[in-house]
C-alpha cells in the first residue's frame, strides 16, 4: 500500500501501551448494564478506581466514539452498544478454542504484528490475539505501510506456535485468507474474492490484507504471526488508495459491527486451523481454490524476485505455491510476490 497518512492523535494514558484491564471492565460493566443508569460511585468501587478516574475514562471512551450518556447525579448509560474491540467483549463471542484464550488490546500501537513479534512464548502463547483500535505504523506486505484509521478497521495479529517446520508457513498464510473471506461473508453478506496469496477484494478493490511473519530455525517454527487488516467502516479511503482499495462500508452502503466481524474471523481461523491440523495442506488448498477466481485460468501480471512477466494461473501446488503458465511458454511456481489481473 502507498504511504500511510498521519493518524489523528489521541492524547492520554489509556491510548499508550496495553489497555488497562480496568478500562476493559468499565466497558464490560456498561454493556452488562446497558438498560440502566450505572451510578459513578458504584462503577468506581466495582472496578477499583476513583470516581474521577471513571469520569476521565468515560471522557476518553467518548473521544473514541463510544456513545455514553451522563445523567447528572445518577450516573452513566450506554446510548448504543459500543463497537470497541476490548478483550471482554471479544472473548464473550468465542468458544473455548485455541485462538483467543488470551487477548491483548491497545487503543493505539505502532503495529500489532510488531507487538506480537516482541512477545516471547510465555507472554504470547499459541492462540494469543493482539488487537488495536489504531496503528501508527501499520505494516503491509513487501515493505509497504498499512493505512490504519482509528476505530474504523480491524487491526489484529494472531500468534500461532504450531509444531511444524517453516515450510508450513505459506499454507497458514492461505488459511488466513480463506478464514477472512468467510468471516466477511458471514458478518456482512459481501462476497470477496481472494487474490493470491491472500488479499481480499470486493468489487475488484482491496478490503483486507494479511501479513504473515515468523520466527524460526531451519527445521522448527517458533512463532507465526498472522497479521490481518480489514477496512470496515472507512467512509472514504485516502486519495492515493482510492483506485485500489475500499472498505466494506463503502461497498455495502452501510456500516458494520467490527466486533461481529472480528469474532467471526477468530472463530473461522480456529475452524480452518483445526481442519489443517486434521486434514493437512490439501484441505486448505481445496478451500482456497474454491474461494478464489485467481486459482485457475486468470490472466495476470507477476512481479516476483526482481522479474516481471505475464501469464495465466494454473492452480496451487500442495505447498500453496501458485502455478503460472507464462506467455513465453515457461512454467513458474510462485512462492512469493505480487500478481495483478490483466484485463
> Which listed range, 65-73, 108-116, 248-256, 288-296, lies at the site for ligand BTN (CB under 6 A)?
108-116
In the complex, minimum distance from the CB of residue 69 to ligand BTN, in angstroms, rounded to a whole number: 33
Residue from the set 128, 157, 231, 246 that interacts with ligand BTN by CB under 6 A: 157
Cα 280 to chain centroid, rounded: 24
From the list 112, 233, 281, 313, which residue makes contact with ligand BTN (rule: CB under 6 A)?
Answer: 112
Min CB(145)–ligand BTN separation in Å: 9
Q: Which is nearer to ligand BTN, 40 or 229 (CB)?
A: 229
Closest CA to 173 of 207, 208, 198, 154: 198
**Closer of 147 and 256 to ligand BTN (Cβ):** 147
Between CA 18 and CA 34 the distance in angstroms is 26
Of 56, 86, 57, 80, which Cα lies nearest the Cα of 68? 80
Tell me which residues in 114-153 interact with ligand BTN (CB under 6 A): 135, 138-141, 144, 146
Contacts (CB under 6 A) with ligand BTN, residues 178-217: 199, 209-211
Residues 90-96: contacts with CB under 8 Å, at least 24 apart: 90/129, 90/131, 90/259, 90/262, 90/263, 90/266, 93/259, 93/260, 93/263, 93/266, 93/267, 94/263, 94/266, 94/267, 94/270, 95/267
CB 154 within 8 A of CB 84: no
Site for ligand BTN in 6-25 (CB under 6 A): none
Closest contact distance (angstroms) between CB of 199 and ligand BTN is 6
Is residue 60 within 8 A of residue 12, CB to CB? The reply is: yes
Smaller CB separation from ligand BTN, 49 or 180: 180
Under a CB-based contact definition with an 8 Å cutoff, are residues 162 and 168 in contact? Answer: yes
Closest CB to ligand BTN among residues 106, 256: 106
* Conformational region of residue 320, where left means phi above 0, alpha means psi within -120 to 50, and beta covers everything else: left
What's the rounded Cα separation, in Å, for the pair 211 and 100? Answer: 19
Taking each continuous run of H as one helix and of E as one strand, the counts in the chain are 9, 14
**Nearer Cβ to ligand BTN, position 75 or 337?**
337
Pull the grid cell for residue 181: 473471506
| Cα–Cα distances in angstroms (integers) from residue 129 to residues 108, 226, 286, 327, in the given order | 15, 10, 26, 43
> Is the distance from CB of 100 to CB of 90 less than 8 angstroms?
yes
Identify the residue among 40, 124, 227, 320 touching ligand BTN (CB under 6 A).
227
Taking the complex as a whole, the smallest distance from the CB of residue 7 to ligand BTN amounts, in Å, to 13
Contacts with ligand BTN by CB under 6 A: the residue count is: 21
Q: Which is nearer to ligand BTN, 297 or 305 (CB)?
A: 305
Give whichever of 144 and 185 is closer to ligand BTN, judged by the CB atom. Answer: 144
Give the three-class secondary structure for 202.
strand
| Contact residue for ligand BTN among 100, 127, 229, 320 (CB under 6 A) | 229
Smallest distance from the beta carbon of 134 to ligand BTN, in angstroms?
A: 11
Which residue's CB atom is positioned nearest to ligand BTN? 209
DSSP 133: S
Between 182 and 206, name the residue whose CB sits nearer to ligand BTN.
Answer: 206
Minimum CB–partner distance for residue 222 and ligand BTN (Å): 19
Measured in degrees and rounded to the nearest 5, phi and psi for residue 200 equal -95, 130
Region of 74-82, 97-105, 163-171, 221-229 interacting with ligand BTN (CB under 6 A): 221-229
Contact indicator for 304, 141 with CB cutoff of 8 Å: no
Compare residues 207 and 316 and give the one whose CB is closer to ligand BTN. Answer: 207
Binding residues for ligand BTN (CB under 6 A): 1, 111-113, 135, 138-141, 144, 146, 155-157, 199, 209-211, 227-229
Amino acid at each position: 500500500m502507498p504511504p500511510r497518512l498521519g493518524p489523528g492523535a489521541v492524547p492520554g494514558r489509556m491510548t499508550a501501551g496495553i489497555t488497562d484491564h480496568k478500562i476493559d471492565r468499565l466497558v464490560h460493566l456498561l454493556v452488562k448494564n446497558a438498560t440502566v443508569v450505572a451510578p459513578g460511585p458504584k462503577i468506581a468501587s466495582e472496578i477499583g478506581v476513583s470516581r474521577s478516574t471513571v469520569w476521565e475514562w468515560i471522557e476518553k471512551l467518548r473521544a473514541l466514539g463510544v456513545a455514553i450518556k451522563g445523567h447528572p447525579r445518577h450516573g452513566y448509560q450506554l446510548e448504543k452498544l459500543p463497537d470497541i474491540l476490548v478483550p471482554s467483549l471479544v472473548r464473550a463471542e468465542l468458544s473455548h478454542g485455541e485462538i483467543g484464550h488470551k487477548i491483548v488490546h491497545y487503543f493505539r500501537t505502532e503495529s500489532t504484528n510488531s507487538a506480537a513479534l516482541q512477545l516471547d512464548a510465555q507472554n504470547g502463547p499459541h492462540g494469543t490475539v493482539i488487537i488495536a483500535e489504531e496503528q501508527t505504523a501499520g505494516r503491509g506486505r513487501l515493505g509497504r505501510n498499512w493505512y490504519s484509521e482509528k476505530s474504523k478497521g480491524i487491526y489484529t495479529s494472531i500468534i500461532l506456535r504450531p509444531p511444524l517446520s517453516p515450510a508450513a508457513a505459506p499454507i497458514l498464510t492461505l488459511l488466513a485468507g480463506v478464514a477472512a473471506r468467510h468471516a466477511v461473508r458471514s458478518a456482512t453478506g459481501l462476497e470477496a474474492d481472494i487474490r493470491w496469496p491472500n488479499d481480499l477484494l470486493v468489487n475488484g478493490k482491496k478490503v483486507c490484507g494479511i501479513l504473515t511473519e515468523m520466527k524460526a530455525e531451519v527445521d522448527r517454527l517458533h512463532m507465526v504471526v498472522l497479521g490481518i487488516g480489514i477496512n470496515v467502516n472507512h467512509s472514504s479511503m485516502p486519495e492515493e488508495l482510492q483506485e485500489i482499495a475500499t472498505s466494506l462500508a463503502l461497498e455495502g452502503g452501510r456500516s458494520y459491527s467490527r466486533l461481529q466481524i472480528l469474532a467471526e474471523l477468530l472463530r473461522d481461523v480456529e475452524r480452518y486451523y483445526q481442519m489443517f491440523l486434521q486434514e493437512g495442506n490439501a484441505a486448505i488448498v481445496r478451500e482456497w481454490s474454491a474461494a478464489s477466481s485467481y486459482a485457475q485460468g486468470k490472466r495476470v501480471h507477476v512481479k516476483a524476485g526482481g522479474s516481471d512477466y505475464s501469464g495465466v494461473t494454473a492452480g496451487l501446488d500442495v505447498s500453496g505455491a501458485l502455478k503460472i503458465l507464462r506467455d513465453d511458454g515457461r512454467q513458474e511456481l510462485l512462492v512469493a510476490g505480487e500478481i495483478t489481473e490483466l484485463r
